[in-house]
Amino acid sequence: KVRDFVSMITKENEQTWSKIFQENGMQYRDPKVVMFESVTQSGCGTAQAAMGPFYCPADQTVYMDMSFFRELQQRFGAQVTEFSIAYVIAHEIGHHVQTLLGTTGKVDQLRASGRYSESEMNRVSVATELQADFYAGVWARQTDNRE
């Protein structure tokens, strides 16, 4: 059931971003999505359940740890809803949008330059996460407008 929902939300995200990119004269490429439990290999190394869902720019793939939401409920007593699952997916696809727009590459260049302190790069990382949150909000708003 959760796997079907992940697939549905991924497709909705792809439709939203394809439309937005097309409206701006760009082409959107869908990310790959890998659903796994416990461990799998990614273009960014070994993916373990302890990492939770993440996006790997090296292979432009969203890795969805299917045990993540179950653990949130069992271990932390968190209420997991369809919206919370959809939001996590949209956030990770937001990182894919950053890759397609060149943001990820620019952040990597800043980090590799060695010109910035650890605290400065931490601020950049926080801003990158907030931008992925913003992109998740763009998807949510577009979806709300369709319904």
Least confident of 5-9, 78-82, 88-92: 78-82
Length of the chain: 147
How high is the pLDDT of residue 89?
96
Asked if 120 and 109 count as a contact pair (C-beta separation under 8 A), the reply is no
Q: Is 16 helix (H, G, I), strand (E, B) or coil?
A: helix
**Pairing mode, strands 32-36 and 61-65:** parallel
Between 128 and 81, the higher pLDDT residue: 128
Q: Has residue 15 got a pLDDT over 70?
A: yes
- pLDDT band per the 50, 70, 90 thresholds, residue 147: low
**Owner of token pair 């949510």:** 140
- The neighbour count for residue 74, using CB atoms within 10 Å, is 10
Task: Quote the pTM value.
Answer: 0.92
How confident is the model over 12-37, as a mean pLDDT?
A: 96
Neighbours of 63 (CB within 10 A): 23
* 104: helix, strand or coil: helix
Query: How far apart are the C-alpha atoms of 1 and 35, rounded to whole Å?
Result: 13
What would the pLDDT profile of 41-88 be if each residue is shown by its tens digit?
A: 999 999 887 788 999 999 999 999 988 888 888 888 878 889 999 999
Averaged pLDDT score across all residues of the chain = 93
> Which residue range(s) make up the domain with 39?
2-146
- Count structural domains, the chain: 1
Share of the chain above pLDDT 90, in %: 75
Express as a percent the part of the chain with pLDDT over 70.
Answer: 99
Q: How many CA atoms lie within 13 A of 139 on its CB side?
A: 28
